[in-house]
Amino acid sequence: MTTTPMTTKLYPSKPQKVYYFGTCLMDMFYPEAGMAGIQLLEREGIEVIFPQGQTCCGQPAYTSGYHDQARQVAAAQLDLFQEPWPIVVPSGSCGSMLRHHYPTLFAGTEQAKQAEAIAERTYELTEFLLHVCQIQLHDHGEPLTIAVHTACSARREMGIGEAAPALLSQLANVTIVEPVQVKECCGFGGTFAVRNPEISGAMVSDKVEHILHAGAQQVMSTDCGCLMNIVGHAEKVQKPLTGAHLAEFIWQRTQSGESQEAQS
């Protein structure tokens, strides 16, 4: 077992198998990114198990204060991960729900130990690729300048704010710029954006302006909610900013020319 200076999380050796928890937003809006995460893991020699019964992690209800309803939703996920394999989540917010909030949500219940066991073996995708797989990336893409937005849950709850930039820094043709106030929320915050649309709108407007002012051509994020919020606002106000989930971006840029032609 090894540790990383970014967090006190213990990282195991690379396993033969992992579970993949795909998240609702990825399933509905960014399925290609979900598949890219699986393909990155498989390319590292790992068998990926995708439980077909998975649904929502329960976070929207939990963060809105509806803990009983959140527990009902979350309970349906607990029996999906019977084997002691790592659970990889391509989202800092959903990953944090499993790792940090499931033990609290199920404390004092018959499922408490089960929730704690799941929390112990949950990893966000970028931290897993970086610290467990110790992935080495080779860039086959054109020169590009990007900004990285790390979700609040990934940065503040999981302590993995440097994982995504560390992976992207391996791409030789990618220049990463850091906007001012890079650690500030984009304004999405799950149900926060629905309950406080004016505040959320002002926050994402600032975020888009900061990213563009830094000179970024695209924005990358590991959370689909943040990505949808930032890129969606840019499109609405006709700002020249596109984006992608980090998994899909890395997968596309690290395939050889032969592999890219075969898929086209």
How confident is the model at residue 87, as a pLDDT? 98
Q: Which of 124, 186, 153, 126 is nearest to 59 (CA)?
A: 153
Q: What is the pLDDT of residues 97-141, one digit of tens each?
A: 999 999 999 999 999 999 999 999 999 999 999 999 999 999 999
Tokens of 240: 């020249």
Domain 14-132 has CATH 3.40.50: yes
How confident is the model at residue 106, as a pLDDT? 98
Orientation angle between helical segments 112-120 and 67-78, nearest 10 degrees: 70
Domain 144-253 has CATH 1.10.10.10: no
Give the three-class secondary structure for 8. Answer: strand
Q: What is the pLDDT of residues 137-166, one digit of tens each?
A: 999 999 999 999 999 999 999 999 999 999
Alpha helices in the chain (DSSP H): 24-29, 31-43, 59-63, 67-78, 92-96, 102-105, 112-120, 125-127, 152, 163-168, 192-195, 197-213, 224-236, 246-253, 257-263
Mean per-residue pLDDT over the chain, rounded = 93
Angle at 232 between CA 230 and CA 54, to 5 degrees: 85
Q: What is the pLDDT of residues 39-68, one digit of tens each?
A: 999 999 999 999 999 999 999 999 999 999
Tally Cβ neighbours within 10 Å of residue 184: 14
Please give the Cα distance from 65 to 59 (Å, whole number).
10
Q: What is the pLDDT of residues 69-98, one digit of tens each?
A: 999 999 999 999 999 999 999 999 999 999
Report residue 45: phi and psi, to 5°: 85, 20
Tally Cβ neighbours within 10 Å of residue 175: 14
Q: What is the pTM of this model?
A: 0.92
Same fold, 14-132 and 144-253: yes
Q: How confident is the model at residue 9 (pLDDT cuts 50, 70, 90)?
A: confident
**Domain parsing of the chain, residue ranges:** 14-132, 144-253
Buried-state track 61-88, b at ≥16 Cβ within 10 A, e below 16: bbbeeeeeebbebbbebbebbeeebbbb
How confident is the model at residue 56, as a pLDDT? 96
How confident is the model at residue 190, as a pLDDT? 86
Q: What is the pLDDT of residues 212-226, one digit of tens each?
A: 999 999 999 999 999
Give the C-alpha distances (Å, rounded to integers) separating 189 from 102, 134, 185, 193, 260. 18, 30, 8, 6, 36
How confident is the model at residue 257, as a pLDDT? 58
Percent over 90 (pLDDT), the chain? 92
